[in-house]
Structure 1
Amino acid sequence: MDYGKTPFVIYQGAWNVMERNFERKIIPMARSLGLALTPRNVHVAGRLHSDAEEEKRPASGEKGRTIFQAEWRRNENERKMTAALEKVAKEVGTEHVTAVAIAVLMQKTPYVFPAIGGRKVEQLMANIDALKISLSNEDIKYIEGILPFDLGFPLNFIISNLLRAFERGEILHGK
Protein backbone atom coordinates (compact mmCIF):
# COMPACT_ATOMS: atom_id res chain seq x y z
CA MET A 1 0.00 0.00 0.00
CA ASP A 2 1.34 3.41 -0.93
CA TYR A 3 0.36 6.33 1.26
CA GLY A 4 2.93 8.75 -0.15
CA LYS A 5 5.41 7.87 2.59
CA THR A 6 8.99 6.86 2.04
CA PRO A 7 9.24 3.11 2.73
CA PHE A 8 11.66 1.71 5.25
CA VAL A 9 14.84 0.44 3.61
CA ILE A 10 17.07 -0.54 6.54
CA TYR A 11 16.67 -1.88 10.07
CA GLN A 12 19.18 -1.20 12.84
CA GLY A 13 19.46 -3.32 15.97
CA ALA A 14 21.84 -5.06 18.35
CA TRP A 15 23.30 -8.21 16.78
CA ASN A 16 26.61 -9.97 17.30
CA VAL A 17 28.06 -13.45 17.75
CA MET A 18 27.08 -13.39 21.44
CA GLU A 19 23.63 -11.79 21.14
CA ARG A 20 21.72 -13.51 18.34
CA ASN A 21 18.10 -12.63 19.18
CA PHE A 22 18.08 -10.60 15.96
CA GLU A 23 18.08 -13.87 14.00
CA ARG A 24 14.72 -15.04 15.37
CA LYS A 25 12.39 -12.47 13.86
CA ILE A 26 14.34 -9.52 12.48
CA ILE A 27 16.24 -11.33 9.72
CA PRO A 28 13.12 -13.14 8.42
CA MET A 29 11.20 -9.85 8.50
CA ALA A 30 14.00 -8.01 6.69
CA ARG A 31 14.14 -10.70 4.01
CA SER A 32 10.39 -10.60 3.44
CA LEU A 33 10.29 -6.78 3.27
CA GLY A 34 13.52 -6.39 1.30
CA LEU A 35 15.24 -4.44 4.08
CA ALA A 36 18.96 -4.05 4.58
CA LEU A 37 20.34 -4.58 8.09
CA THR A 38 22.66 -2.44 10.20
CA PRO A 39 23.75 -4.45 13.22
CA ARG A 40 25.21 -2.46 16.09
CA ASN A 41 27.35 -3.68 18.99
CA VAL A 42 29.10 -6.10 16.62
CA HIS A 43 32.27 -5.86 18.75
CA VAL A 44 30.32 -6.91 21.88
CA ALA A 45 31.30 -3.61 23.55
CA GLY A 46 34.99 -4.40 23.13
CA ARG A 47 34.82 -7.71 24.96
CA LEU A 48 36.11 -9.86 22.08
CA HIS A 49 39.85 -9.97 22.61
CA SER A 50 42.49 -12.61 23.22
CA ASP A 51 43.69 -13.89 26.57
CA ALA A 52 47.05 -12.23 25.88
CA GLU A 53 45.38 -8.84 25.33
CA GLU A 54 43.41 -9.21 28.54
CA GLU A 55 46.57 -10.04 30.49
CA LYS A 56 48.40 -6.98 29.08
CA ARG A 57 45.72 -4.48 30.03
CA PRO A 58 46.35 -4.21 33.80
CA ALA A 59 50.07 -3.62 33.18
CA SER A 60 49.34 -0.81 30.72
CA GLY A 61 46.63 0.66 32.96
CA GLU A 62 44.15 0.47 30.08
CA LYS A 63 41.77 -2.19 31.38
CA GLY A 64 38.61 -2.21 29.30
CA ARG A 65 35.19 -0.70 28.86
CA THR A 66 32.77 -0.88 31.75
CA ILE A 67 29.81 0.95 30.21
CA PHE A 68 27.47 -2.04 30.09
CA GLN A 69 29.04 -4.19 32.80
CA ALA A 70 30.84 -3.37 36.04
CA GLU A 71 33.63 -5.87 35.33
CA TRP A 72 35.90 -5.17 32.36
CA ARG A 73 37.25 -8.72 32.22
CA ARG A 74 35.46 -11.20 29.98
CA ASN A 75 33.03 -13.73 31.41
CA GLU A 76 33.22 -17.47 30.64
CA ASN A 77 30.96 -17.30 27.58
CA GLU A 78 32.96 -14.40 26.15
CA ARG A 79 36.18 -16.38 26.65
CA LYS A 80 34.65 -19.43 24.90
CA MET A 81 33.49 -17.31 21.98
CA THR A 82 36.83 -15.54 21.69
CA ALA A 83 38.66 -18.89 21.61
CA ALA A 84 36.39 -20.06 18.77
CA LEU A 85 36.90 -16.81 16.87
CA GLU A 86 40.69 -17.12 17.33
CA LYS A 87 40.61 -20.67 15.93
CA VAL A 88 38.68 -19.57 12.84
CA ALA A 89 40.82 -16.43 12.47
CA LYS A 90 43.96 -18.59 12.21
CA GLU A 91 42.28 -20.83 9.63
CA VAL A 92 41.23 -17.91 7.40
CA GLY A 93 44.50 -16.00 7.78
CA THR A 94 43.70 -13.05 10.01
CA GLU A 95 44.95 -12.11 13.44
CA HIS A 96 41.79 -10.18 14.37
CA VAL A 97 38.98 -12.00 16.17
CA THR A 98 36.73 -9.00 15.63
CA ALA A 99 37.21 -9.32 11.87
CA VAL A 100 35.81 -12.84 12.08
CA ALA A 101 32.94 -11.66 14.30
CA ILE A 102 32.00 -9.01 11.73
CA ALA A 103 32.40 -11.43 8.81
CA VAL A 104 29.98 -13.91 10.42
CA LEU A 105 27.23 -11.29 10.38
CA MET A 106 28.03 -10.02 6.91
CA GLN A 107 27.97 -13.53 5.44
CA LYS A 108 24.90 -14.74 7.35
CA THR A 109 22.35 -12.89 5.24
CA PRO A 110 22.44 -10.38 2.35
CA TYR A 111 22.55 -6.59 2.68
CA VAL A 112 24.30 -6.33 6.05
CA PHE A 113 26.08 -3.04 6.75
CA PRO A 114 27.44 -3.13 10.31
CA ALA A 115 27.70 0.04 12.37
CA ILE A 116 31.26 -0.31 13.58
CA GLY A 117 33.70 1.97 15.27
CA GLY A 118 36.97 2.01 17.07
CA ARG A 119 39.34 4.19 19.03
CA LYS A 120 42.63 2.86 17.71
CA VAL A 121 44.27 2.24 14.35
CA GLU A 122 44.45 -1.51 15.13
CA GLN A 123 40.67 -1.57 15.55
CA LEU A 124 40.19 0.16 12.20
CA MET A 125 42.51 -2.38 10.56
CA ALA A 126 40.52 -5.25 12.10
CA ASN A 127 37.30 -3.75 10.73
CA ILE A 128 38.83 -3.52 7.25
CA ASP A 129 40.15 -7.08 7.58
CA ALA A 130 36.55 -8.31 7.91
CA LEU A 131 36.00 -7.34 4.27
CA LYS A 132 38.96 -9.44 3.13
CA ILE A 133 38.07 -12.77 4.69
CA SER A 134 35.61 -15.39 3.55
CA LEU A 135 34.14 -17.87 5.99
CA SER A 136 32.82 -21.29 5.06
CA ASN A 137 29.42 -22.51 6.19
CA GLU A 138 31.29 -24.84 8.53
CA ASP A 139 33.14 -21.89 10.10
CA ILE A 140 29.86 -20.08 10.74
CA LYS A 141 28.18 -23.22 12.13
CA TYR A 142 31.18 -23.83 14.40
CA ILE A 143 31.03 -20.29 15.80
CA GLU A 144 27.25 -20.43 16.22
CA GLY A 145 27.55 -23.76 18.04
CA ILE A 146 29.74 -22.37 20.82
CA LEU A 147 26.80 -20.92 22.77
CA PRO A 148 23.21 -22.19 22.77
CA PHE A 149 20.75 -20.26 20.64
CA ASP A 150 18.00 -18.62 22.69
CA LEU A 151 14.66 -19.44 21.06
CA GLY A 152 12.96 -16.66 23.01
CA PHE A 153 9.42 -16.37 24.25
CA PRO A 154 7.09 -18.17 23.72
CA LEU A 155 9.18 -21.11 22.44
CA ASN A 156 11.41 -21.29 25.55
CA PHE A 157 8.27 -21.37 27.69
CA ILE A 158 6.53 -24.02 25.56
CA ILE A 159 9.59 -26.25 25.28
CA SER A 160 10.42 -26.03 29.00
CA ASN A 161 6.83 -26.99 29.89
CA LEU A 162 6.90 -29.89 27.42
CA LEU A 163 10.20 -31.13 28.85
CA ARG A 164 8.88 -30.94 32.41
CA ALA A 165 5.72 -32.81 31.37
CA PHE A 166 7.84 -35.43 29.63
CA GLU A 167 10.07 -35.82 32.71
CA ARG A 168 6.98 -36.32 34.88
CA GLY A 169 5.71 -38.94 32.43
CA GLU A 170 2.59 -36.96 31.56
CA ILE A 171 3.24 -37.02 27.83
CA LEU A 172 3.90 -40.75 27.69
CA HIS A 173 0.77 -41.52 29.73
CA GLY A 174 -1.47 -39.22 27.73
CA LYS A 175 -2.48 -37.12 30.75
Structure 2
Amino acid sequence: MDNTAPVTTYYLEMTAAHQLREKPQPEGLVVMEAEQKEFRFNRYLYQLVGEPWQWVDKLSLPDAEWRRYAEREQLRTWVAYERGSIAGYYELEQQPQGNIQIAYFGLAPRYVGRGFGGYLLSHALRSAWDWNPEQTRRVWVHTCTLDHPGALANYQARGMSVYKTETE
Protein backbone atom coordinates (compact mmCIF):
# COMPACT_ATOMS: atom_id res chain seq x y z
CA MET A 1 0.00 0.00 0.00
CA ASP A 2 1.29 3.44 -0.97
CA ASN A 3 1.25 5.59 2.17
CA THR A 4 2.27 8.72 0.24
CA ALA A 5 -0.86 8.83 -1.93
CA PRO A 6 -3.51 11.34 -0.87
CA VAL A 7 -6.39 9.88 1.14
CA THR A 8 -9.92 10.83 0.18
CA THR A 9 -12.65 10.52 2.80
CA TYR A 10 -16.26 10.15 1.66
CA TYR A 11 -19.14 11.09 3.95
CA LEU A 12 -22.40 9.36 3.06
CA GLU A 13 -25.92 9.67 4.39
CA MET A 14 -29.39 8.27 4.10
CA THR A 15 -32.21 10.63 5.08
CA ALA A 16 -35.23 8.30 4.92
CA ALA A 17 -35.72 4.61 5.68
CA HIS A 18 -37.47 4.01 2.35
CA GLN A 19 -34.19 4.81 0.54
CA LEU A 20 -32.70 1.52 1.75
CA ARG A 21 -32.06 -0.97 -1.05
CA GLU A 22 -31.61 -4.20 0.86
CA LYS A 23 -29.48 -7.11 -0.19
CA PRO A 24 -30.91 -10.53 0.75
CA GLN A 25 -29.54 -12.52 3.66
CA PRO A 26 -26.97 -15.10 2.56
CA GLU A 27 -27.64 -18.63 3.69
CA GLY A 28 -25.87 -19.43 6.94
CA LEU A 29 -25.23 -15.82 7.98
CA VAL A 30 -26.84 -14.74 11.25
CA VAL A 31 -26.60 -11.24 12.75
CA MET A 32 -27.17 -10.74 16.47
CA GLU A 33 -26.94 -7.74 18.74
CA ALA A 34 -24.36 -8.00 21.52
CA GLU A 35 -26.88 -6.89 24.14
CA GLN A 36 -24.53 -7.46 27.06
CA LYS A 37 -22.00 -4.67 26.65
CA GLU A 38 -18.37 -5.75 27.08
CA PHE A 39 -15.68 -3.33 25.95
CA ARG A 40 -13.13 -6.12 25.48
CA PHE A 41 -15.39 -7.71 22.85
CA ASN A 42 -15.66 -4.40 20.96
CA ARG A 43 -11.90 -4.04 21.10
CA TYR A 44 -11.48 -7.57 19.74
CA LEU A 45 -13.95 -6.91 16.89
CA TYR A 46 -12.22 -3.64 16.06
CA GLN A 47 -8.86 -5.40 15.83
CA LEU A 48 -10.17 -8.45 13.94
CA VAL A 49 -12.03 -6.48 11.28
CA GLY A 50 -9.78 -3.43 11.15
CA GLU A 51 -6.36 -5.04 10.95
CA PRO A 52 -6.20 -5.27 7.13
CA TRP A 53 -7.29 -1.61 6.86
CA GLN A 54 -4.86 -0.20 9.44
CA TRP A 55 -7.48 0.58 12.09
CA VAL A 56 -4.89 1.38 14.73
CA ASP A 57 -6.00 4.69 16.25
CA LYS A 58 -7.89 3.03 19.12
CA LEU A 59 -5.69 0.01 19.80
CA SER A 60 -3.51 1.80 22.34
CA LEU A 61 -6.42 3.17 24.37
CA PRO A 62 -6.47 2.04 28.00
CA ASP A 63 -9.28 -0.18 29.25
CA ALA A 64 -11.07 2.73 30.94
CA GLU A 65 -11.39 4.61 27.64
CA TRP A 66 -12.56 1.51 25.80
CA ARG A 67 -15.17 0.95 28.53
CA ARG A 68 -16.39 4.58 28.27
CA TYR A 69 -16.66 4.22 24.51
CA ALA A 70 -18.20 0.77 24.14
CA GLU A 71 -20.44 0.45 27.18
CA ARG A 72 -22.41 3.66 26.90
CA GLU A 73 -26.11 3.73 26.15
CA GLN A 74 -25.64 5.59 22.84
CA LEU A 75 -23.62 2.73 21.28
CA ARG A 76 -24.99 -0.60 20.11
CA THR A 77 -23.03 -3.47 18.54
CA TRP A 78 -24.16 -6.24 16.20
CA VAL A 79 -22.09 -9.26 15.17
CA ALA A 80 -22.47 -11.42 12.06
CA TYR A 81 -21.79 -15.12 12.49
CA GLU A 82 -21.37 -17.83 9.92
CA ARG A 83 -21.47 -21.37 11.35
CA GLY A 84 -20.51 -20.01 14.78
CA SER A 85 -17.54 -17.92 13.64
CA ILE A 86 -17.42 -14.14 13.60
CA ALA A 87 -17.89 -12.97 10.02
CA GLY A 88 -18.12 -9.24 10.75
CA TYR A 89 -19.67 -6.55 12.89
CA TYR A 90 -21.00 -3.04 13.06
CA GLU A 91 -21.51 -0.40 15.71
CA LEU A 92 -24.25 2.22 15.67
CA GLU A 93 -23.88 5.45 17.61
CA GLN A 94 -26.91 7.55 18.45
CA GLN A 95 -26.02 11.24 18.14
CA PRO A 96 -27.84 14.55 18.72
CA GLN A 97 -30.52 15.91 16.37
CA GLY A 98 -31.73 12.53 15.15
CA ASN A 99 -28.43 11.35 13.68
CA ILE A 100 -27.20 7.78 13.85
CA GLN A 101 -23.66 7.04 12.73
CA ILE A 102 -22.44 3.68 11.55
CA ALA A 103 -19.33 4.11 13.69
CA TYR A 104 -17.58 0.91 12.60
CA PHE A 105 -18.53 -1.62 9.96
CA GLY A 106 -16.70 -4.46 8.31
CA LEU A 107 -16.04 -8.11 7.73
CA ALA A 108 -13.42 -10.38 9.24
CA PRO A 109 -10.64 -10.97 6.68
CA ARG A 110 -11.61 -14.55 5.78
CA TYR A 111 -15.17 -13.41 4.95
CA VAL A 112 -14.32 -10.57 2.57
CA GLY A 113 -15.45 -11.31 -0.97
CA ARG A 114 -18.08 -13.88 0.01
CA GLY A 115 -21.10 -11.64 -0.55
CA PHE A 116 -21.79 -10.90 3.12
CA GLY A 117 -21.05 -7.15 3.14
CA GLY A 118 -24.18 -6.03 1.30
CA TYR A 119 -26.48 -7.90 3.64
CA LEU A 120 -24.59 -6.81 6.76
CA LEU A 121 -24.83 -3.19 5.64
CA SER A 122 -28.54 -3.63 4.89
CA HIS A 123 -28.94 -4.99 8.42
CA ALA A 124 -27.00 -2.04 9.86
CA LEU A 125 -29.12 0.53 8.04
CA ARG A 126 -32.37 -1.20 8.97
CA SER A 127 -31.24 -1.41 12.62
CA ALA A 128 -30.31 2.28 12.60
CA TRP A 129 -33.75 3.31 11.30
CA ASP A 130 -35.49 0.94 13.75
CA TRP A 131 -33.54 2.15 16.80
CA ASN A 132 -35.74 5.18 17.42
CA PRO A 133 -37.93 5.63 14.33
CA GLU A 134 -39.79 8.68 15.65
CA GLN A 135 -36.58 10.63 16.19
CA THR A 136 -34.10 9.32 13.62
CA ARG A 137 -33.64 11.81 10.78
CA ARG A 138 -30.42 10.61 9.19
CA VAL A 139 -28.02 7.66 9.15
CA TRP A 140 -24.47 8.48 8.13
CA VAL A 141 -21.05 6.91 7.74
CA HIS A 142 -17.65 7.80 6.40
CA THR A 143 -15.20 5.71 4.45
CA CYS A 144 -11.94 6.46 2.70
CA THR A 145 -9.63 5.31 -0.05
CA LEU A 146 -7.70 3.19 2.49
CA ASP A 147 -10.81 1.03 3.01
CA HIS A 148 -11.79 -2.03 0.98
CA PRO A 149 -12.07 -1.01 -2.70
CA GLY A 150 -15.75 -2.06 -2.72
CA ALA A 151 -16.77 -0.16 0.41
CA LEU A 152 -17.95 3.06 -1.23
CA ALA A 153 -19.89 1.15 -3.90
CA ASN A 154 -21.58 -0.99 -1.21
CA TYR A 155 -22.75 2.09 0.70
CA GLN A 156 -24.09 3.64 -2.48
CA ALA A 157 -25.74 0.40 -3.65
CA ARG A 158 -27.67 0.27 -0.38
CA GLY A 159 -29.07 3.76 -1.02
CA MET A 160 -26.62 6.07 0.72
CA SER A 161 -25.47 9.29 -1.00
CA VAL A 162 -22.15 11.13 -0.74
CA TYR A 163 -22.70 14.56 0.83
CA LYS A 164 -19.07 15.59 1.37
CA THR A 165 -15.55 14.57 0.33
CA GLU A 166 -12.19 15.60 1.76
CA THR A 167 -8.72 14.84 0.41
CA GLU A 168 -5.62 15.02 2.58
**TM-score, structure 2 as length reference:** 0.29
Which structure has the larger Rg over C-alpha atoms?
A: 1
Greater RCO, 1 or 2 (C-alpha within 8 Å, sep 6+): 2
TM-score for both structures, normalised by structure 1: 0.28
From the two aligned structures, give the one with the greater helix fraction: 1
